[in-house]
């Protein structure tokens, strides 16, 4: 039942009131919903076993703070029983003395008008006596996890960016976007491997051997064939001459040398720095969303290419 209900995405709220001595009380709840616009009524529910039940039942007022996407920590704080929920929080008293937190996506000050039995919960209905909203995007809860509310945009149908009749395509052509993004993101790294005296094929070969190895020429070719930069019978001897690779004792495999590992680690460090720089202006959720999309895209288009970092194979 809980799992099925979790398929219904909700907002996340912190609802506050005061107890009998005027101390602030607050809980995290996702049961908030609208009831009526005229008169303006909202509802939410609280477990009868909650420590704060007596305070909400007697106060006569409550305030619903619809949390912003940046307020996961606040949600967790008010969901933790017995914690000092208001310590260090910026708040002021509102109608009926209820605590008003100063950051929110929306805020509704309410006078309790009705309470109803609802199984193991008590349902509170309140008349909205004051409300505010901001431009902050709301925090969402779905499937037992926090999520983001994002407006759907009308996308261009696949293939619409390409005009085969006239031999043209627009900047929305997906394969063009993928290719350009890769080229621009790797341009700085390309300069570094060129400075190290290696080409792209040697760079990819060095990376595979640095990740694991030793590998045969055949194994290297299988893993790099999809890049268009698979090594041939001339690549490994050239890398041996440069001191980056050595042939193993069986004469069938190749391993990275100390010098080669130094170059590999330097290029790996540069790759990490490039990633951090390129993604610095994007939110964690933006990055996670793009990564998830690319992983799905790779799975959908995968013709059986071995994972790049899984270097062991039966030659």
Summarize pLDDT for 279-301 with one digit per residue, the tens.
988 888 788 889 999 999 988 98
Q: Considering the entire predicted model, what is its pTM?
A: 0.62
Q: Report the C-alpha gap between 268 and 260 in whole angstroms.
A: 12
Going by pLDDT thresholds of 50, 70 and 90, the confidence category of residue 241 is: very high
Q: For residue 247, with 0-12 CB atoms within 10 Å meaning exposed, 13-18 middle and 19 or more buried, which class applies?
A: middle
Q: Is residue 312's pLDDT more than 70?
A: no
CATH class of 2-148: mainly beta
pLDDT score at 313: 46
Q: Report the C-alpha gap between 34 and 66 in whole angstroms.
A: 12
Which one has a higher pLDDT value, 314 or 147?
Answer: 147
Summarize pLDDT for 125-158 with one digit per residue, the tens.
999 999 999 999 899 998 888 887 777 777 778 8
Question: What is the CB neighbour count within 10 angstroms for residue 185?
Answer: 13
Dihedral of the CA atoms 59, 65, 70, 76 (nearest 10)?
Answer: 30
pLDDT score at 59: 94
Q: Give yes or no for a contact between 99 and 24, defined as CB atoms under 8 angstroms apart.
A: yes
Question: What is the CB neighbour count within 10 angstroms for residue 93?
Answer: 13
Q: Give yes or no for a contact between 33 and 43, defined as CB atoms under 8 angstroms apart.
A: yes
Going by pLDDT thresholds of 50, 70 and 90, the confidence category of residue 314 is: very low
Which one has a higher pLDDT value, 109 or 70?
Answer: 109
Summarize pLDDT for 155-180 with one digit per residue, the tens.
778 888 888 998 998 988 999 999 99
What lies within 8 Å, CB to CB, of 63 at 6+ separation is 15, 16, 17, 94, 95, 98, 99, 100, 107, 108, 109, 110
The pLDDT of 239-266, averaged and rounded, is 93
Locate the domains of the chain by residue range: 2-148, 167-301
Among residues 239, 218, 211, 203, the alpha carbon closest in space to that of 308 is found at 211
According to the CATH classification, is domain 167-301 in 1.10.10.10? yes
């Amino acid at each position: 039942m809980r799992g099925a209900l979790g398929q219904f995405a909700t907002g996340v709220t912190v609802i506050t009131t005061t107890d009998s001595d005027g101390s602030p009380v607050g809980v995290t709840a996702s049961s908030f919903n609208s009831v009526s616009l005229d008169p303006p009524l909202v509802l939410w529910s609280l477990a009868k076993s909650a420590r704060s039940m007596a305070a909400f039942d007697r106060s006569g007022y409550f305030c619903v703070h619809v949390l912003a996407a940046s307020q996961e920590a606040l949600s967790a704080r008010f969901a933790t029983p017995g914690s000092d929920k208001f310590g260090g929080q910026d708040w002021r008293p509102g109608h009926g003395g209820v605590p008003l937190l100063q950051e929110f996506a929306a805020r509704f000050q309410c006078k309790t008008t009705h309470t109803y039995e609802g199984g193991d919960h008590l349902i509170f209905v309140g008349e909205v006596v004051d409300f505010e909203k901001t431009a902050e995007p709301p925090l969402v809860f779905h499937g037992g996890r926090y999520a983001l509310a994002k407006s759907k945009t009308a996308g261009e149908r696949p293939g619409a960016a390409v005009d085969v009749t006239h031999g043209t395509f627009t900047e929305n052509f997906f394969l063009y976007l993928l290719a350009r993004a890769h080229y621009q993101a790797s341009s700085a790294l390309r300069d570094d491997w060129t400075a190290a005296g290696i080409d792209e094929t040697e760079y990819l070969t060095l990376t595979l051997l640095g990740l694991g190895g030793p590998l045969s020429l055949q194994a290297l070719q299988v893993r790099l064939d999809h890049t268009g930069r698979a090594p041939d019978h001339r690549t490994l001897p050239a890398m041996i001459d440069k001191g980056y690779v050595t042939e193993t004792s069986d004469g069938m495999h190749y391993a990275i040398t100390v010098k080669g590992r130094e170059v590999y680690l330097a290029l790996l460090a540069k790759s990490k720095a490039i990633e951090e720089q390129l993604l610095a202006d994007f939110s964690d959720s933006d990055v996670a969303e793009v990564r998830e999309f690319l992983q799905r895209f790779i799975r959908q288009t995968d013709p059986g290419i071995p994972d790049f970092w899984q270097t062991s194979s039966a030659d």
